[in-house]
Structure 1
Amino acid sequence: MSKIPLTFIGAELLRQELHHLKTVERPAVINAISEARAQGDLSENAEYDAAKERQGFVEGRIVELEFKLGSAQIIDPKNISADGRCVFGSTVVLEDVNNGDVVTYQIVGDDEANIRERKISISSPIARALIGKYSGDIAEVQAPGGVREYEVVDVQYI
């Protein structure tokens, strides 16, 4: 079984979601199914069908989260000793070679990725291009518009 990389914060967010699903969503769905059953004929009961569909989603997500947390390799970026190299969990400051724009990204697991929070997935093209690079190195990223070049300005473990 392969390990699923997660940052400490990402694993905590998944634990919180799992807890919410088990303690809030699951009981609410069970209650909705009971109420729909009380209405009688289930063959034409839209509320019952919707509640059963929601139950399937909730139970599926619970199984998925339990699997991911059970096979997670939790990495705390503060404890990384990579000697300035871009690795999972590191925060990387990049400068676009073409236009000079500076951006900062943290390389995280697939479930944690959120571009608005400047967190990019380890499996994204930019993260794959950055892994193993040091400050001063140039990373070539295959983008839809062609190859983009970024200079690694700084690598932090925060």
Structure 2
Amino acid sequence: MTTLKIDLIADNLISIHPLLYKSISKPLKHQSPITPGGMFVLGSLKRNGTQSMSDIGKCLSMPKPHVTVIVDKLIEEDLVERQSDPNDRRIVNILLTQKGVDEFDSIKKDLSENLKIKLSKLSDQEQDILAIASQQMKEILISILSKE
């Protein structure tokens, strides 16, 4: 692969994140005190169950101090709680509360509904292209992560 092609791909991928944020997350930001980082942590806990701070950081590629700040805010909102590891008192696990599950599901539903409204405004051809491209992008990003 040429350097020019790799540069183009890198530039495109870097520009996608802010575009996604502006079109999906930002319109709903005022409805919830949960930051995007908080949503990532809640999502990780929902998918993987109880995790240590280090495991959350590894899963989300976030430094542990950053995870700690996010988790502290989620604890203040009663969305997660700390739980000592019964096998190793040095390890503190993070557990998703029922309020956390409910809040995560509610925000995810709102994001999905907001996105569906925007996607319905695309032409059939644009929807077809985006369906294929987004699936391929997801698969390629998973492949990239598996090679790290």
TM-score grouping bracket, smaller chain normalisation: under 0.3
What TM-score do the two structures reach when normalised by structure 1? 0.26
Task: Flag the structure with more relative contact order, 1 or 2, with Cα contacts below 8 A and sequence separation at least 6.
Answer: 1
Larger Rg over CA atoms: 1
Between Structure 1 and Structure 2, which shows a larger proportion of helix residues?
Answer: 2
What TM-score do the two structures reach when normalised by structure 2? 0.28
Between Structure 1 and Structure 2, which shows a larger proportion of strand residues?
Answer: 1
